[in-house]
Structure 1
């Protein structure tokens, strides 16, 4: 058994402003992050979460929630995350494929938003409902008039309307949600730092729940993830001096919530050894080895 509970894992990382969060699927993601000095209020109703002026996250440590920690290696570095997964048979959300009105958002993180109307964007995601939340009567009327149609169909005008109006985005899974209040950037523009959303039709068409490089165990579907501070990057993703404490902290997460075989390969590389060729003969194993090799180089720089 892991040394800490799922609830402790969530609460501990939510208390760290250097940890970022994401909720979504391949091609549609809502991200939450906050600055250390940014005002934040805890969510009500027993949920594990925070609301800031730019967004919110609200989670529950449901009994079927399974964390899975992993690293992936690539040319010049590595990434790390703890995927928050559900069993495949227990992850399904609405799976709507057209714009659909859902009614008032009674589960909103902030009481002030609970009278606003949720509209499911109809992206057809397996384990996530990607929605917008609207309070302005004129925009509600325009969205109601567009209900029943796909928003990404050729010639659909609803996408441009939403970009211009920039309503709250609300992405929900069975165990929680991320809300984003920042403006939607114009086409070709960069997303704001902190809470933001990405919807990429070319990736959505692939129908994947996650990237092929993420070694999620069979039978689990990742719905969200926590992203602890990287040992060799700053908050903007730029290279920074190696932080041994951060590296050790993620090693502990791998020990508690990762794949034991991949974690063993990591330890071998970090200790200066050569992985057993039989154990290293898979795509995910080779990625884990590349990640560890990148860490060795970062320690030396």
Structure 2
């Protein structure tokens, strides 16, 4: 039996990346063009690969195929998907924060640059041991701010810490060609503790997310209750929907990057 590979990656695809997907194209039309982002039989969006395999209802399907696409090819219905609103054009869509047309437009612009785009590989997680090493490396004295001062006579950049002494304390000297390195060293004294504080805040996200989802999407305040959201339908009657992963991700983004507090004059203080 033929085995197909997963579809090529695109940041604008919505189909399950573990499988190859079916593109429902009538036999009298040309085969899908490789590299294009098209709707799949499971009503997601996937990139057409180089090797397109033709199939038809009732035919033996290859291994590695999306089970949802396979079910549709065998006469089943595509999965029910939650409708939302495209953030770019406000069109109704079941493809998350962008509709199919906007995804295709962005994919077409991104696709030619894919070989030069930054890697999307997820970095290895920070281990507890490495985190502790970083915490232990922070000096208990010589606090920020650190500053950079040029010494033109010695052709060096000096990184200094603030002190009551008439002359600031010397941390290190960097050759004159290393101005950016000196700035990095000076910035790191304040930046590393700030990043560790942010790590502490993000480590509490599971509890914060549970609390936020419970408050917004449960009617009883019970964290084990079914999550739903309500809106007024076009006919004026209230409508209830199950909470989709898109809404959960939106709440998570709010928690990761909370909105800045308004300035005093904006808050009316």
The answer to which structure has the higher strand fraction is 1
The structure, 1 or 2, with the larger RCO (C-alpha pairs under 8 Å, 6+ apart) is 1
Shorter-chain TM-score range: under 0.3
Q: TM-score, normalised by structure 1?
A: 0.21
